[in-house]
Amino acid sequence: MGAWAIAVHGGAGVDPNLPKERQEEAKRLLTRCLDIGISALRCNLPAIDVVELVVRELETDPLFNSGRGSALTEKGTVEMEASIMDGPKRRCGAVSGLTTVKNPVSLARLVMEKSPHSYLAFSGAEEFAKKQGVEMVDNEYFITEDNVGMLKLAKEANSILFDYRIPAVGTCGAGAAMDSPLQMNGLPISVYAPETVGCVVVDKQGRCAAATSTGGLMNKMSGRIGDSPLIGSGTYASELCGVSCTGEGEAIIRSTLAREVSAVMEYKGLNLHEAVDYVIKNRLDEGKAGLIAVSKDGEVACGFNTTGMFRGCATEDGFMEVGVW
């Protein structure tokens, strides 16, 4: 019997001027999710059950960009995506383009367990959800007043808005977004701070699992798919580790960031902390991102090259930490 460990994130890239109240609100949500995961692990739930449970909680709360509270497309609608992976046999499931499924991560798990495929998207994923009897809601359920306002801001700035809750004042306003030196695939973007959610867990049996869920980018093109549902990029789990990524999706996709952590552990013999540090420093080129990870030995680690990352972690020996910067 080994030792369990858990980590959660609410996105990498945080506005340096983020109000203290917002920081504390995020920390409370992350702490609540850690507590849910810890209770489940103490009841000997397997890692795959725990990551789903925790991400469902994050999807239900509108604070971060997943499920209710998801970022809006250029058309003012929500298109969500998620993935989940079970390390022992490398089973996985992923979904994209969801508009009415209340908890995308649970549909991703059903794709893994109840379909012959690994990835379903758009109308096919919605049809599968209906057949599986998952909870469905109107698209309006996911749309919040804050996000409607931020979509308006993004359109006025003619920009994809990453941190769609950064207020339009001072250095963080729409004008600053247009002057930003940051780019995605060679095109200018606004202040960088996506708020994807994710969870990684290793249970007492040393089984690793990972799950990631997001609404994507504010003012994104309809049909855009990011890294979160892509196995090996936004999510990966093996017999060695479980990884969930967040940040500039296109950079994470190019670097297959989540898989890289497992790969350098396997092929270079690095431990978890060394592997996380290595891939953040050497695999992102000029991209901005972060990740959380656990190992089969009960280690937990996080890494990011952004100004901050909403994150929390806990281990069986009593260690628990929640942070932003």
Query: Does 247 show up as a binding residue in the annotation?
Result: yes
Query: Does 10 show up as a binding residue in the annotation?
Result: no
Strands (E) located in 18-132: 80-86, 91-98, 119-121
**299, 4 in Cβ contact below 8 A?**
no
Cβ-based burial of 302 (10 A; exposed 0-12, middle 13-18, buried ≥19): buried
What are the distances in angstroms from CA 186 to CA 125, 127, 189, 233? Answer: 32, 36, 9, 20
Query: Does 224 show up as a binding residue in the annotation?
Result: yes
Query: Does 318 show up as a binding residue in the annotation?
Result: no
From 73, 196, 306, 315, the catalytic residue? 196
Place of tokens 């769609």: 164
What pairing do the DSSP bridges indicate for beta strands 91-98 and 119-121? Answer: parallel
Query: Does 248 show up as a binding residue in the annotation?
Result: yes
Is 196 one of the catalytic residues? yes
Query: Does 225 show up as a binding residue in the annotation?
Result: yes
Query: Does 280 show up as a binding residue in the annotation?
Result: no
Q: What spatial distance separates the first Cα and last Cα of the chain, rounded to whole Å?
A: 34
Query: Does 124 show up as a binding residue in the annotation?
Result: no
Which residues are documented as binding site?
224-227, 246-249
Which residues are documented as binding site for substrate?
224-227, 246-249
Tell me which residues are annotated as active site: 196
